[in-house]
C-alpha cells in the first residue's frame, strides 16, 4: 500500500514540476508560514502577499501522526499518513471525474502541526455525532462537500460536512490521485 501511494504522489508531483516549464506554480508569500517550497534568491527580500514561484519539496523531517494516534487511540489509514508526510507543497488544484477539487497539502512542519490540530477536531466531531471516522484531505467547489478517506476501509468518499460520507469515489487514495487531471 505504501509503495502505491508514494508512486501516485511522485507521479502527481512530477506532473506539476513538468508543467512548470509552461506555467510556474505561484503562491502568495506569507512570512508567518515560511516554507522550503518558495523559490527565491538568497538576496531577494519578499513582502507579505507578494506572488512567488514555488515547487514541491520532498520532506526530510520526521513528521508523523504517532502522537495524534496515541492521544485519540486510533490508527490512521497508512495512505492518508503518507499523503501528508511525503512532500511539502501548496494546495493542488485538480479535476476529478466528479468535478474540480483542491488537494490539501502542508508547506512546513508548523503547517503539519496545524493540520493535526484540525484533524483532531474533525475526528472528535465524528465521534460526537456517532459517525464513522473520516480523514479529510481535499476540498471541492461546493463549500459543504469535502474529500475524505474512510479510516476503517481506506475508501475515498465525498462527504457533506457534519454528515456521514456516502458517495464512494475510489477504493483508496492512490487510485483517486491517479485518476486526477492537474488543472
Q: What is the pLDDT of residue 146?
A: 95
Q: Could you tell me which residues come within 8 angstroms of residue 32 by beta carbon, excluding any fewer than 6 positions away?
A: none
Is 84 in contact with 103 (CB distance < 8 Å)? no
Please say whether the beta carbons of 130 and 114 come within 8 A. Answer: no
Going by CATH, does the domain composed of 2-182 fall within 3.30.460.80?
A: no
Distant-in-sequence, close-in-space partners of 143: CB < 8 Å, separation ≥ 6? none
pLDDT tens readout for residues 104-128: 999 999 999 999 999 999 999 999 9
The residue assigned the cell 523531517 is 61
Quick one: pLDDT at residue 97?
A: 87
Q: What is the pLDDT of residue 102?
A: 97
Q: What is the pLDDT of residue 13?
A: 95
With 0-12 CB in 10 A as exposed, 13-18 as middle and 19+ as buried, what is 90? buried
The list of the chain residues with pLDDT below 70 reads 1-2, 20-21, 41-43, 165
DSSP characters over the chain: -HHHHHHHHHHHHHHHHHGGGTS-EEEE--TTS--TTB---TTPPPPTT-EEEE--EE--S---SHHHHHHHT----HHHHHHHHSEE---EEEEETTEEEEE----SHHHHHHHHHHHHHHHHHHHHTT---EEEEEEESSTTEEEEEETTT--EEEEETTS---EEEESSHHHHHHH-EE-
pLDDT per residue over 93-107, tens digit each?
999 988 999 999 999
Q: What pTM, to 2 d.p., does this model score?
A: 0.92
Amino acid at each position: 500500500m505504501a509503495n502505491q501511494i508514494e508512486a501516485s504522489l511522485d507521479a502527481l508531483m512530477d506532473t506539476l514540476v513538468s508543467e512548470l516549464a509552461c506555467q510556474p506554480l505561484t503562491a502568495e508569500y506569507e512570512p508567518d508560514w515560511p516554507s522550503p517550497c518558495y523559490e527565491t534568491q538568497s538576496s531577494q527580500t519578499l513582502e507579505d502577499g507578494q506572488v512567488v514561484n514555488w515547487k514541491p519539496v520532498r520532506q526530510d523531517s520526521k513528521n508523523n501522526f504517532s502522537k495524534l494516534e496515541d492521544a485519540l487511540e486510533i490508527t490512521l489509514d497508512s495512505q492518508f499518513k503518507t499523503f501528508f508526510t511525503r512532500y511539502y507543497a501548496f494546495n493542488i488544484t485538480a479535476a476529478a471525474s466528479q468535478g474540480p477539487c483542491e488537494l490539501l497539502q502542508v508547506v512546513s512542519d508548523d503547517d503539519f502541526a496545524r493540520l493535526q490540530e484540525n484533524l483532531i477536531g474533525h475526528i472528535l466531531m465524528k465521534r460526537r455525532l456517532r459517525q464513522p471516522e473520516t480523514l479529510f484531505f481535499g476540498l471541492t467547489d461546493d463549500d459543504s462537500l469535502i474529500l475524505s478517506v474512510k479510516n476503517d476501509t481506506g475508501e475515498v468518499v465525498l462527504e457533506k460536512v457534519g454528515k456521514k460520507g456516502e458517495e464512494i469515489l475510489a477504493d483508496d487514495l492512490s487510485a483517486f490521485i491517479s485518476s486526477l487531471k492537474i488543472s
